[in-house]
Amino acid sequence: MADGERELSERKKQILKAIVDAHIEGGGPVGSKAILQAGGMNCSSATIRNEMAELEEMGYLEQPHASAGRVPSELGYRFYVDSLIEHYAMTTHEIAQINNLLRAKMGELDQILSAASHLASNLTNYTGIAIQPRTGAVNIAKFEGIYLEPSHFILVAVASNGAVKTKHIHTDFKVLPESVSRLAESLNAMLAGLSAERITLPIIMELETRMGADSGMIGPVMKVVYDLLSELDAGAVQVAGIDHLLQYPEYSDTAQFRELLGALEKKDDILDLVSTTGGEGDINVLIGSESRVKVMNNSALVFKPIVKDGQTLGAIGVLGPRRMDYAKVLATLEGLSGNIENLILPNKQLHNGGESDG
């Protein structure tokens, strides 16, 4: 059995919790004197120092430089979150701010998540994140065609997640209004409900057969259909309060902070994290290297999937230093997610996009 897996005594747990709490509040190394002054310990300073040395040997603490103080390691934070954290009692003002979400007249999922991420940032003093994950299962539920002129028509697609997209299609040949209507009928008959992976060559050939003399429309239309499906399932990451991180010394390195910003703007790494560790609605706490994103090794990402009728619609999260106030962050995300799920009515269409020219 590895040192880090040995059972911790109650005194070691008490000391580790005291160190994590003090480090979260102050940010610096914590010594035995500070633990004694905090109270609650029925032992000598020498005993505390011995216990701290053993906790360091077991991997729960680190000694950043030649001083008596220690800071929690990644393993120490993980044990704290899993076993030692105390429930955070939200203030009346914080509860009121969260409950105000229910009074907001927002019909679109991206608006709801964005508002929640801003509020999460304001309440915790860290960076709030709103995430609409890739699902791999988005399809187009309905197609409509709008004729404009002989070589120009609009394709309207209503996605399975409620999003509406429009694409202008220009052709090198003339099309008639009835050709556009027949195209929409054929697309609804052959493609509605299919993800991109399920649209096969035989299906496309059948579409061309159905269109007869207007089969030339299928080529440019299929390119648009694949583009639409890709856009609809691209996922999205919105960030609020990134400036909050600048007050923490962990982000004083300009180059590293710029890399972190790049990861957030690129969004792919965040989307991958949510899709692979999202679970079934449980809060996820990724500390340091647990996130598998190198630029987040000095950070912690906490996020809560928003689940309705068994479907994960998005997630809200908080990004901050490893020494974030986990108790407050967890309570905040639980409160926000409950309000968001109440805002989203069953079978409600959530439109996440408007007109998009192709």
pLDDT of residue 316 exceeding 50: yes
Side-chain half-sphere of 192: how many Cα atoms within 13 Å? 14
Q: Is the pTM of this model over 0.95?
A: no
pLDDT of residue 16 exceeding 60: yes
In the DSSP assignment, the letter for residue 162 is S
For residue 99, the enclosing domain spans 92-134+235-343
- 125 torsion bin: left (phi>0), alpha (psi -120 to 50), beta (else): left
Residue with more model confidence, 343 or 224: 224
Mean pLDDT over the full length of the chain: 87
Residues 43, 112 within the same domain: no
| Alpha-carbon span 137 to 143, nearest angstrom | 17
Number of neighbouring beta carbons within 10 Å of residue 198 = 10
Let me know if residue 333 belongs to a domain.
yes
The beta-carbon contacts of 277-282 under 8 Å, at least 24 apart in sequence, are: 278/133, 278/303, 278/305, 278/312, 278/315, 279/305, 280/305, 280/307, 281/305, 281/307, 281/312
**Over residues 248-257, mean pLDDT:** 92
Query: Does an H or E element contain 51, and which?
Result: helix 45-57
Residues 151, 281 within the same domain: no
What pLDDT sits at residue 274?
80
pLDDT of residue 291 exceeding 60: yes
Residues 110, 242 within the same domain: yes
Name the phi and psi angles at 127, rounded to 5.
-95, 130
Which two tokens mark 119?
A: 């509020």
Residues 47, 196 within the same domain: no
Let me know if residue 357 belongs to a domain.
no
Is residue 107 within 8 A of residue 351, CB to CB? The reply is yes
Let me know if residue 114 belongs to a domain.
yes
pLDDT of residue 65 exceeding 50: yes
Residues 125, 244 within the same domain: yes
Let me know if residue 350 belongs to a domain.
no
Which two tokens mark 345?
A: 């009515």
Residues 188, 247 within the same domain: no
| Alpha-carbon span 304 to 278, nearest angstrom | 8
Which two tokens mark 285?
A: 């706490």
Task: Count up the domains in the chain and report the number.
Answer: 3
| Alpha-carbon span 203 to 184, nearest angstrom | 15
CATH number at residue 181: 3.30.390
Residues 154, 128 within the same domain: no
Domain stop point among 177, 202, 232 = 232
Let me know if residue 120 belongs to a domain.
yes
CATH number at residue 67: 1.10.10.10
Residues 105, 37 within the same domain: no
> Model confidence at 278, in pLDDT bands (50, 70, 90)?
low
Is residue 328 within 8 A of residue 337, CB to CB? The reply is no
Which two tokens mark 336?
A: 């926000």
pLDDT of residue 343 exceeding 70: yes
What pLDDT sits at residue 355?
45
